[in-house]
Amino acid sequence: MNFDLTEEQRLVRDTARDFAAREIAPKASEIDKSGRWPAEIIKKMGELGFLGMAIPEAYGGAGLDSLSYALVMEEISAACASCGVIMSVNNSLFCDPIYKFGTEAQKDEVLRACASGAKLGCFGLTEPMSGSDAQTMSTNATKTADGWVIDGAKNWITNGPHADYILVFAVTSRPAPDAANPNPKIKHTAFLVPKGTPGYTQASPDHKLGIHGAHSCTVFFEHCKVPESAVVGKVGEGFRVAMATLDGGRIGIASQALGIAKASLDVSLAYAKERKSFGVPIAQHQAIQFMLSDMATELDAARLLTWRAALMKDSNERHTMQSAEAKLYASEMATRVAHKAIQIHGGYGYSSEFPVERHYRDARITEIYEGTSEIQRIVIAASLLKA
């Protein structure tokens, strides 16, 4: 596997790094403290092609690859993890499945708008009583003469308060168990629902520990009627759509974690060279050097895992296990690195005057969304045992 970046990948990364330094980093603390939605940054990310990175230009995307997407996600998230996840949800959890499973009409109308940044998408899988065990969702879609009626609620929907479309998953067949088949398979289907569809509503944004600028909310479907053309993929195959989508999404979250860790390491290095104790910069103390060494080593290891998963996705290889490994390791690494960054900063690290406390709060969610660390371990073990 070749980890050398092409000229194009380096250019894309440098463009993102420059944009993040100029337009995002100076606002990151204010976005975190105010909890405001960074509308102007999202607009510019759209103009740069960052909202539909791996979608062909014919459908409004940038026509790049998954490794470029991982590179940009890391740069954007290093500046502001909220902006990172807003971007990641639109790219991985919305545009990618519409491109892979959507009809030509859905691609023409919806994908083109969302990949170019004119509109925004979100992904509705999780429910109040079904997160990790996603199959057990209680949202139902009932067949009618000319379409479907969706009833249920989805929560923690990142981008939900602002998204123009939701890709939502519902049960479309729930056979009753009988003696011959005590455990019949529930079948799910994916639907594309535009905001404004009667019966589809959003609650106010959630209050969270971190990623304050990335708004999420509960959404409700109350007798929400959608036409047959709203189905994404095949009826009854929605769970596979969701799982295949998360294989890509986990690369995005792993990259977000890389960005948070990189930002934590960078500020720690700078601080360690400046701050003095016992007559010397603290960078000269072996205790600090060991922390910095561990942070850099773990960050590099996580980056290699993430890039491997992205390269496999680009070569159309099944990457379920590799994405889960990348997401598991990178997210737990980001929390450890941000934890050490606070330690290096001492009391100042605990203050909101310095960015490391934000990195620490932002890192934590990467161990939870798009499958907790425990779910990643289940996915990895299932792949190991199947082999």
Provide the binding-site residues for ligand CAA, judged by CB under 6 A: 85, 89, 93, 123, 125-126, 132-135, 156, 158, 239-240, 243-244, 246-247, 320, 369-371, 375, 378-379
Nearest to 167 by CA among 108, 103, 98, 214: 98
Q: Between 55 and 125, whose beta carbon lies closer to ligand CAA?
A: 125
Nearby residues of 16 by Cβ (< 8 Å), 6 or more positions away: 48, 50, 71, 72, 75, 76
Q: Which amino acid is at 254?
A: A
Burial category of 34 from C-beta neighbours within 10 Å (exposed 0-12, middle 13-18, buried 19 and up): exposed
Smallest separation, CB 89 to ligand CAA (Å): 5
Token pair listed for 130:
């079904």
Q: Between 287 and 384, whose beta carbon lies closer to ligand CAA?
A: 384
Distance CA 256, CA 319 (A): 18
- Assign residue 385 a region (left: φ > 0; alpha: ψ between -120 and 50; beta: otherwise): alpha
Helix or strand or coil: residue 282?
A: helix
Smallest separation, CB 17 to ligand CAA (Å): 23
Distance CA 261, CA 272 (A): 16
Q: Which helix (H) or strand (E) holds 265?
A: helix 238-274
Q: Between 91 and 320, whose beta carbon lies closer to ligand CAA?
A: 320
Smallest separation, CB 289 to ligand CAA (Å): 36
Smallest separation, CB 125 to ligand CAA (Å): 5
Query: Has 370 been annotated as catalytic?
Result: yes
Q: Between 81 and 113, whose beta carbon lies closer to ligand CAA?
A: 81
Which of 23, 75, 298, 370 is labelled catalytic? 370
Smallest separation, CB 240 to ligand CAA (Å): 4
Smallest separation, CB 194 to ligand CAA (Å): 19
Are β-strands 165-173 and 216-227 bridged in parallel, bridged antiparallel, or unpaired? unpaired
**C-beta separation of 170 from 219 below 8 A:** no
Distance CA 121, CA 96 (A): 11
Nearest to 362 by CA among 347, 377, 342, 376: 342
| Residue 338 backbone dihedrals phi, psi, to 5 degrees | -65, -35
Are β-strands 165-173 and 121-124 bridged in parallel, bridged antiparallel, or unpaired? parallel
Q: Between 208 and 336, whose beta carbon lies closer to ligand CAA?
A: 208
Give me the active site residues, please.
370
